[in-house]
Amino acid sequence: GQSLEQPSEVTAVEGAIVQINCTYQTSGFYGLSWYQQHDGGAPTFLSYNGLDGLEETGRFSSFLSRSDSYGYLLLQELQMKDSASYFCAVTRGSTLGRLYFGRGTQLTVWP
Amino acid sequence: DGGITQSPKYLFRKEGQNVTLSCEQNLNHDAMYWYRQDPGQGLRLIYYSQIVNDFQKGDIAEGYSVSREKKESFPLTVTSAQKNPTAFYLCASSTGLAGAYNEQFFGPGTRLTVL
């Protein structure tokens, strides 16, 4: 089985930096992904970590520590349009084709 | 343009009726997925298919059925056996390969309301 824990809500102001944590318990862990979903919209892929360390994509970065079963998504220079839900999702080695999603973190960015 | 489409965007049905949700992709992806999303529940997998004419149950398959007769299409039927079918349904597709190559592309979703 597997479980993922992430905070339900995070708030920040424009221009700030916010970190959304994700801890997981899963057998056969293979990798960690992050998706963004605006209200009523479709989730979109942000990043993937298969190895320990930091992956950077513009204002967004994602980190993984396999030994700690922990990852985070770092959003810098926050903008109002970053207000959305953010989901972490794990891939397991036994079922490479599917993702197991966390419950999501609602990020609200204030002006 | 390549993409994944779902129709309709909103769907209303009476209790006890079966309903089929459409999902089509022209990304040439092998794998397709159906998720259900309820408030505060994240994305829960209903069914997935990694190849034509084959599919597997996800975590909440009871009361749902699927078919995968064509690579491009993966319709989901919500049957009358599904006890609480009102939800937002999302279809996705991917290459089905491992790791970073398994980015899932989502359709716009169908919001089903059962009256």
Query: Which chain A residue lies closest to B38 (C-alpha atoms)?
Result: A103
CA distance B87 to chain A (A): 12
Residue with tokens 């209790």: B15
To probe the interface with B, which of A99, A103, A105, A106 has the most B CB atoms within 10 Å?
A99
Query: Which chain B residue lies closest to A96 (C-alpha atoms)?
Result: B98
Percent of chain B with pLDDT over 70: 95
The three-class DSSP label of residue A81 is helix
Nearest to A91 among B48, B102, B106 (CB): B102
Does the pLDDT at position B1 exceed 70?
Answer: no
For B33-67, write each residue's pLDDT tens digit: 999 999 877 899 999 999 999 999 999 999 999 99
The DSSP code sequence of chain B is ---EEEE-SEEEE-TT--EEEEEEE-S--SEEEEEEEETTTEEEEEEEEEETTEEEE-SS-TTEEE--SBTTB--EEE-TT-S---EEEEEEEE---SGGGG--EE---EEEEE-
Q: Which residues of B touch A8 (CB under 8 A)?
A: 40
Residues 6+ apart with CB under 8 A from A74: A17, A18, A19, A20, A60, A61, A62, A63
For A16-70, write each residue's pLDDT tens digit: 999 999 999 998 899 999 999 999 899 999 999 999 999 998 999 999 999 999 9
Q: What is the reported pLDDT for B100?
A: 64
Give per-residue burial for B49-68: e unless 16+ CB within 10 Å, then b: bbeeeebeebebbeebbbeb
Does the pLDDT at position A97 exceed 90?
Answer: no
B101 confidence band (pLDDT: 50, 70, 90): low
The three-class DSSP label of residue A80 is helix
- Judged by CB atoms closer than 8 Å, whether chains meet at B100 and A41 is answered as no
Query: Which chain A residue lies closest to B94 (C-alpha atoms)?
Result: A97
Beta bridge partners of B11: B112
For B6-42, write each residue's pLDDT tens digit: 999 999 999 889 999 999 999 999 999 999 999 877 8
Asked if A87 and A35 touch (Cβ cutoff 8 Å), the reply is: yes
To probe the interface with A, which of B43, B54, B68, B89 has the most A CB atoms within 10 Å?
B43
Q: Which residues of A touch B45 (CB under 8 A)?
A: 98-100
Asked if A97 and B50 touch (Cβ cutoff 8 Å), the reply is: yes
- Alpha-carbon distances of B27 from A41, A74, B45, rounded to whole Å: 20, 30, 21
Q: Give the C-alpha separation, B113 to B115, whole Å.
A: 6
Residue type, A34: W
Residue B87, both tokens = 């939800």
Q: What is the reported pLDDT for A105?
A: 97
